[in-house]
């Protein structure tokens, strides 16, 4: 059977609980918000700035750009999740700043017929059958001087975590399992591959950040509940070597070379 891109249609509430309502999700969001503060426009710049959120989920992160006065296009493959995002944005009085589309990443250039100053693509590529081609599509959606915020599931960190927890057979099997788990990304991405793909597209990484550099490695699960302490350590160390490379996710801020 041919592989298909993953969708969360029908499990929106479970997705919300597992991803956004946990400390690991809160850490992820806080790190991205910190990183992207430098990309927020002035009030004068915002009127002419277009932002695209690809696979935007519930749309929390893009709200910082909408609140700054930008026009935001929110897309996701799941109609349920897009509806939840619309409801959240309405609660914050931001609905007039948004346009919404239910569509996969691959269809966006033809559907949207425009390019953007900032493209957000977080935790999407690892769910796709062809992540390298998805990068080509993302570049098409960027203006010539545009910027891309890309977060992806780190294959190196997954290997490290499974060795730490003694899952040697799983690592020896090249992280392959007979039965996939719907809420687990189907193909974590090797940072070396990502670097090569970006270089081929003449896209330059201007900032690298590890996301969840410590949380997922804690053997005592009670320590994962110490959110404020963990977040403080995360924000202090996650752009420094060697910690930046062991984040469960990697957030790379990218511009045209």
Q: Token pair for residue 222?
A: 């009670």
Phi and psi angles of residue 2, each rounded to the nearest 5 degrees, phi first: -70, 145
Q: Are strands 249-256 and 203-211 parallel, antiparallel or unpaired?
A: antiparallel
Is 210 annotated as ligand-binding? no
Is 56 annotated as ligand-binding? yes
The rounded distance, in Å, linking the Cα atoms of 41 and 43 is 6
The rounded distance, in Å, linking the Cα atoms of 185 and 78 is 16
Q: Token pair for residue 17?
A: 């609980």
Is 28 annotated as ligand-binding? yes
The rounded distance, in Å, linking the Cα atoms of 242 and 201 is 27
Q: Tell which residue, 87, 67, 65, has the closest CA to residue 13.
A: 87
- Give the single-character DSSP code of 186: S
Is 122 annotated as ligand-binding? yes
Phi and psi angles of residue 16, each rounded to the nearest 5 degrees, phi first: -60, -45
Is 4 annotated as ligand-binding? no
DSSP string computed for 100-168? EEE--GGGHHHHH-S-EEEEEEES-GGGSS-HHHHHHHHHHTEEEEEEEEEEEEBHHHHHHHHHHTT-H
Feature table: binding site: 28, 55-56, 76, 122
Feature table: binding site for S-adenosyl-L-methionine: 28, 55-56, 76, 122
């Amino acid at each position: 059977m041919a592989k298909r891109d993953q969708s969360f249609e029908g499990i929106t509430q479970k997705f919300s609980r597992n991803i956004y309502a946990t400390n690991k999700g809160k850490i992820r969001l806080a790190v991205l918000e910190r990183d992207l503060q430098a990309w927020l426009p002035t009030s004068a710049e915002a009127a002419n700035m277009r932002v695209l959120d690809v696979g935007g989920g519930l749309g929390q992160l893009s709200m910082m750009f909408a609140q700054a006065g930008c026009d935001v296009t929110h897309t996701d493959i799941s109609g349920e999740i897009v509806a939840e995002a619309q409801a959240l944005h309405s609660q914050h009085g931001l609905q007039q700043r948004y346009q919404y589309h239910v569509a996969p990443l691959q269809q966006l250039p033809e559907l949207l017929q425009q390019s953007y100053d900032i493209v957000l693509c977080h935790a999407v590529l690892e769910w796709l059958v062809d992540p390298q081609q998805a990068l080509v599509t993302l570049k098409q959606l960027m203006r010539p001087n545009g910027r891309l915020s890309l977060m992806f599931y780190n294959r190196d960190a997954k290997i490290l975590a499974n060795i730490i927890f003694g899952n040697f057979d799983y690592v020896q099997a090249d992280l392959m399992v007979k039965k996939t788990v719907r809420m687990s990304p189907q193909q974590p991405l090797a940072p070396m591959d990502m670097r090569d793909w970006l270089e081929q597209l003449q896209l330059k990484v201007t900032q690298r950040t590890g996301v969840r550099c410590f949380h997922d490695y804690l053997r005592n699960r009670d320590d994962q509940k110490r959110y404020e302490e963990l977040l403080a350590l995360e924000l202090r160390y996650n752009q420094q070597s060697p910690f930046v490379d062991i984040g469960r996710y990697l957030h790379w801020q990218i511009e045209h070379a």
